[in-house]
Amino acid sequence: MRFIQHEDRETILLQLSEQIAGDNETRLVDAFVDKVDLASHGFTFKTDKGDKADLGGRREYHPADLLKLYVYGYINQVRSSRQLSKHCRINLEVKWLVSNLQPSHNTVNKFRKNNPDALNELFRTFNRFWKQIGLYGNEDIAIDGSFFAAQNGKQHNFSSDKIKKRLAHIDKKTEDYLALLDQIDKEEDKALKLSEEEVAAKLAVLSKRKEKYQVLSNILKESGDSQVSTTDSDARLLSKGKGAQMAYNVQIATEEENKMIAYYEVTNQGDTKAFHRVAKATKDFLQDGDETQSINALGDKGFNDAEQLHLCQQDNITTYVAHKDEKEPKKEGLFTKSKFVYNRAEDTYQCPNDETLKTTGNFFKNRNRKVKSYQVSFKICEGCPLKESCLSPKSIEKRKGRSITRSPYENAKDDNKKRVSENKEIYHLRKAMVEHPFGTIKRQWGYSYTLLKGFKKVSGEFALIFSAYNLRRATSILGVNELLNRINQAEMLVFSLFLKKLVVTSPTSHHRRKKSPQYDLFQSVCKRIFAPFLTLKVGCVTDWYGSINWSCIVSGIFHYFHKRSISSCKRPVDSEMIRNSTPNSLSFLAVS
């Protein structure tokens, strides 16, 4: 028999760079993170003492190395801090990526836990890059939400009713034990299973439980929430269809060109009130805050809320949201509102018997909804052959004619329904656009639950998940080598944080900050030179909701030119240097 010859284990030498192919996506992760200015994103540096003297101590791992480790891990379905730490010792790609560093699992875990805001900004910075190289469309978006299990069991979630039941059970058990104590005192029956000391101990336990539930009840009253969770205070019991789970509801918006995730939001509520907020934020990002442009927004019936559709209409967002059928009345055979035809020109309803329901035009509140009523006289209904199918027995008894309520937003709902029925080919794009990311992330990658607790940290984790998804998607579209070329052509990816006082990078250490006395001069120069270009052509000077943030712009531009002055001319930045620089040299600026 003939076999391939083994090499001697003791003499095997590896050159890590030779083991990583030129088109390996690990090189892409390395290049991407190296282009990101971590200090401007807000990543924490433990050994940064500010203006204080550094007295020495243990060195820290550079955030870039830990960020590379996490991005690599999330792309390759490894997100446990212990597993990531293990990969630093056994995985050749990771060894090359982090230059053979071997951080402990605690170090790896704390990086993700301590930098949620910075990870959110990183996602947005990456998205600016994808948009800059033409991977994002700006005509159609699709929005969807999906539940991701939280680190909180159902047994650690309490509603007002659940607390009342628990307290009632404790009161009943307490009464039973007190009655047992009386029986022990009176009869001194040796046949009793529990002694007086054991009963007293059980009463003490019940008393502690009662205190716990009373505290939870007070928390609910003070917060005004319907639920309280004891392990992850932001997690909620959410239901969709027949099932319910402790979860976060993550909303995403994808664009039509390459089905990449343009925006996401972590919530602990249902889909009903999320559509406009997500659609508006995504529109502002894709269209640079241009209010004159319109965009098509697609969603399933979970988003079919009249007020949300109206708000979208106001913001030049054309909705294609599936129509939600009305629930049939409890008494079978009664006509639903859908049987009545609305006349928008006359603001009236026509009943199935061609009678007219009119309104006074006055709005009132009905179950926390602003509505107006359309009614017809009972004299007309009394002789109607369809009376039994239209009026409830209670209305007939009280001699009240049929009435219908309508909210001020239902015109938008009617317009949306008509659009969907006339343009089914547009609505049918929704599944292909927005359900694929959740399928990949939850089923293929296995990320159906969160590892962290609390809105901020969970949002930071999803920033990593969606950044990894977009990177994998872009790699599939352009390939590793083309993406590497695009990244290498870009300048430093800068994100300018909102700061009360401008801080710039110190020449001696890229994460050491100090105050700048040149801020006022620089701001006036920036407004004069860069405002027309940035607002009209780049459009990225607006925040997530479209308003101009000059402090953010100035900080970002100052940071950019300050680094150029250090690396090239070794002198402080001044206004003359800015005037001689073209706006095109600002290759990338992401703002909050």
* Statement: residue 174 has pLDDT above 60: yes
Q: Within this chain, do residues 311 and 422 fall inside the same structural domain, yes or no?
A: yes
Q: How far apart are CA 351 and CA 118, in angstroms?
A: 58
Assign 183 a pLDDT band (cuts: 50, 70, 90): confident
CA neighbor of 466 nearest in space, from 119, 153, 150: 119
Residue 274 phi/psi, 5-degree rounding, is -100, -20
Which tens digit of pLDDT belongs to each residue from 99-120?
A: 999 999 999 999 999 999 999 9
Q: Across the chain, what does the average pLDDT equal?
A: 82
Half-sphere exposure of 60 (CA within 13 A, CB side): 16
Q: How far apart are CA 38 and CA 282, in angstroms?
A: 25
Q: Please name the helix (run of DSSP H) or strand (run of DSSP E) that holds residue 159, with its range, or none.
A: strand 157-159
Which tens digit of pLDDT belongs to each residue from 533-557?
A: 443 333 333 333 333 444 445 555 5
Q: Which of 334-338, 378-382, 432-436, 508-512 has the lowest mean pLDDT?
A: 508-512
Residue 197 CB partners (closer than 8 Å, separation 6+): none
CA neighbor of 534 nearest in space, from 582, 488, 494, 566: 582
- Percentage of the chain beyond pLDDT 90 is 60
Q: Final residue of a domain: which of 168, 201, 229?
A: 229
* Residue 319, pLDDT score: 96
* Statement: residue 461 has pLDDT above 90: yes
Report the CATH number that the domain containing residue 431 is assigned in CATH: 3.30.420
Is there a domain that residue 501 lies in?
A: yes
Q: Are 435 and 299 in contact (CB under 8 A)?
A: no
Is there a domain that residue 348 lies in?
A: yes
The letter for the amino acid at 554 is: V
Q: Which residue has the higher pLDDT, 443 or 50?
A: 443
Q: Are 295 and 327 in contact (CB under 8 A)?
A: no
CA neighbor of 523 nearest in space, from 495, 488, 487, 499: 499
Q: How far apart are CA 529 and CA 534, in angstroms?
A: 10
Write out the two tokens for 229.
Answer: 């969770």
* Statement: residue 467 has pLDDT above 70: yes
Q: For residue 132, count CB atoms less than 10 angstroms from its CB and return exposed for 0-12, middle for 13-18, buried for 19 or more.
A: middle
Max Cα separation, the chain?
103
Is there a domain that residue 460 lies in?
A: no
Q: Please name the helix (run of DSSP H) or strand (run of DSSP E) that holds residue 404, with its range, or none.
A: strand 403-406
Is there a domain that residue 187 lies in?
A: yes
* Statement: residue 567 has pLDDT above 50: no
Q: How far apart are CA 315 and CA 59, in angstroms?
A: 51
Angle of CA points 325, 330, 333, to nearest 5°? 80
* Statement: residue 85 has pLDDT above 50: yes
Q: Within this chain, do residues 570 and 511 fall inside the same structural domain, yes or no?
A: yes
Residue 40 CB partners (closer than 8 Å, separation 6+): 494, 495, 496, 497, 556, 559
The letter for the amino acid at 370 is: K
The letter for the amino acid at 363 is: F
The 3 state secondary structure assigned to 318-387 is EEEECCCCCCCCCCCCCCCHHHCEEECCCCEEECCCCCEEEEEEEEEEECCEEEEEEECCHHHHHCCCCH
Q: How far apart are CA 460 and CA 95, in angstroms?
A: 25
* Residue 586, pLDDT score: 31
Q: Is the alpha carbon torsion for 151, 154, 158, 159 positive or negative?
A: positive
Residue 313 phi/psi, 5-degree rounding, is -60, -40
Residue 288 phi/psi, 5-degree rounding, is 55, 35
Q: Are 572 and 517 in contact (CB under 8 A)?
A: no
Question: How many other C-beta atoms lie within 10 A of the C-beta of residue 325?
Answer: 10
Please count the structural domains in the chain: 4
- End-to-end Cα distance, the chain: 67
Q: Final residue of a domain: which of 409, 425, 456?
A: 409
Write out the two tokens for 244.
Answer: 């319910």
Q: Within this chain, do residues 369 and 256 fall inside the same structural domain, yes or no?
A: no
Q: Residue 284: which domain range?
A: 140-149+236-323+415-444
Q: Within this chain, do residues 519 and 576 fall inside the same structural domain, yes or no?
A: yes
Is there a domain that residue 76 lies in?
A: no
Residue 312 CB partners (closer than 8 Å, separation 6+): 275, 276, 279, 280, 297, 318, 319, 412
Assign 148 a pLDDT band (cuts: 50, 70, 90): very high
* Statement: residue 522 has pLDDT above 90: no
* Residue 512, pLDDT score: 35
Which tens digit of pLDDT belongs to each residue from 468-477?
A: 999 999 999 9
Q: Within this chain, do residues 162 and 145 fall inside the same structural domain, yes or no?
A: no
Q: Final residue of a domain: which of 409, 434, 454?
A: 409
CA neighbor of 466 nearest in space, from 99, 127, 111: 127
Q: Within this chain, do residues 514 and 581 fall inside the same structural domain, yes or no?
A: yes
Query: Across residues 155-174, what is the average pLDDT?
Result: 92
Question: How many other C-beta atoms lie within 10 A of the C-beta of residue 575?
Answer: 15
Is there a domain that residue 368 lies in?
A: yes
Assign 569 a pLDDT band (cuts: 50, 70, 90): very low
**Residue 226 three-state SS:** coil
Q: Within this chain, do residues 312 and 431 fall inside the same structural domain, yes or no?
A: yes
Q: Which of 279-288, 290-299, 367-376, 520-529 has the lowest mean pLDDT?
A: 520-529
Q: Within this chain, do residues 509 and 539 fall inside the same structural domain, yes or no?
A: yes
Write out the two tokens for 73.
Answer: 């891990």
Is there a domain that residue 332 lies in?
A: no
Is there a domain that residue 454 lies in?
A: no
Q: Which residue has the higher pLDDT, 170 or 188?
A: 170
Estimate to the nearest angstrom the gap between the alpha carbon of 516 and the chain centroid. 35
The DSSP secondary-structure symbol of 169 reads H
Residue 356 CB partners (closer than 8 Å, separation 6+): 348, 349, 350, 376
Which tens digit of pLDDT belongs to each residue from 483-517?
A: 999 998 876 665 433 333 333 333 333 333 333 44
Q: Within this chain, do residues 268 and 399 fall inside the same structural domain, yes or no?
A: no
Q: Within this chain, do residues 351 and 364 fall inside the same structural domain, yes or no?
A: yes
**Residue 267 three-state SS:** strand
Q: How far apart are CA 290 and CA 62, in angstroms?
A: 39
Q: Within this chain, do residues 145 and 188 fall inside the same structural domain, yes or no?
A: no
Which tens digit of pLDDT belongs to each residue from 362-385?
A: 999 888 888 999 999 999 998 899
* Residue 446, pLDDT score: 95
Length of the chain: 592
User: What Å distances lie between residue 61 and 29, 65, 251, CA to CA?
Assistant: 18, 7, 33
Q: Within this chain, do residues 439 and 562 fall inside the same structural domain, yes or no?
A: no
Q: Which of 2-6, 200-204, 307-311, 569-573 has the lowest mean pLDDT?
A: 569-573
